[in-house]
Structure 1
């Protein structure tokens, strides 16, 4: 099942380190079949208060996503980003084409805030 590296970044300081990071990241993704799905872009805010940029990188599965993040090539450039931005990064699995909203009811207790 597809898995995604998702980053919600704030306060990105565009400078030489971020430029070097952007110039190098594609080569770190290639061995793991990673590809950008969302990379910032024009947002249309519908609800809430959103700030920062959303980045989503797709991988064939969680093992590939984990291996990319832990790879020596990515770890070598990671400080270029972390020294120049703040944010949260997670790995999360996608859902199949036949997924329905109610499928989550069998995986967890229903409570306030379940979407």
Structure 2
């Protein structure tokens, strides 16, 4: 099951460290088979408010996503971005082929109150 690193970046400040980060990040992704699917284009907001930009990186699975984030190579360059761009980063598993949201709805109907998966 693929996993994704999703970042919502706000208050971007251009700084030489950001350029260094951008030149080095792909090298940290390659050993974990990570690839950019979205990298910061302006979004067309059709509902709500979306300040900033987004990044979406795909990995073969959650193990690779976690290993990339924890890797010494990525941790070495993380501050280059984090010191200059406010944002959030989450790692999340994708859904498999044949995913049917109706099955999710049925599972939610049968859960006891307060239980969420």
Greater alpha carbon shift after TM alignment, 20-29 vs 34-43: 34-43
Note the aligned Cα RMSD (angstroms): 1.8
- TM-score norm. by structure 1 comes to 0.90
C-alpha deviation, 1:103, in angstroms: 2.7
Closer/same/farther in 2, CA of residues 110 and 12 from structure 1, 3 Å limit: farther
- Distance in 2 between the 1:46 and 1:35 partners? 27
TM-score relative to the length of structure 2 = 0.88
Change (3 A) 1:107 1:5: farther
Aligned to 2:49: 49
- In structure 1, the gaps of 5 or more residues are none
Give the ranges of 4+ consecutive aligned residues of structure 1 lying more than 6 Å apart after TM superposition: none
Q: CA deviation at 1:107?
A: 5.9
Number of positions where the alignment pairs a residue of Structure 1 with one of Structure 2: 111
- What pairs up with 1:7-86 in 2 under 5 angstroms? 7-86=7-86
Structure with bigger gyration radius: 2
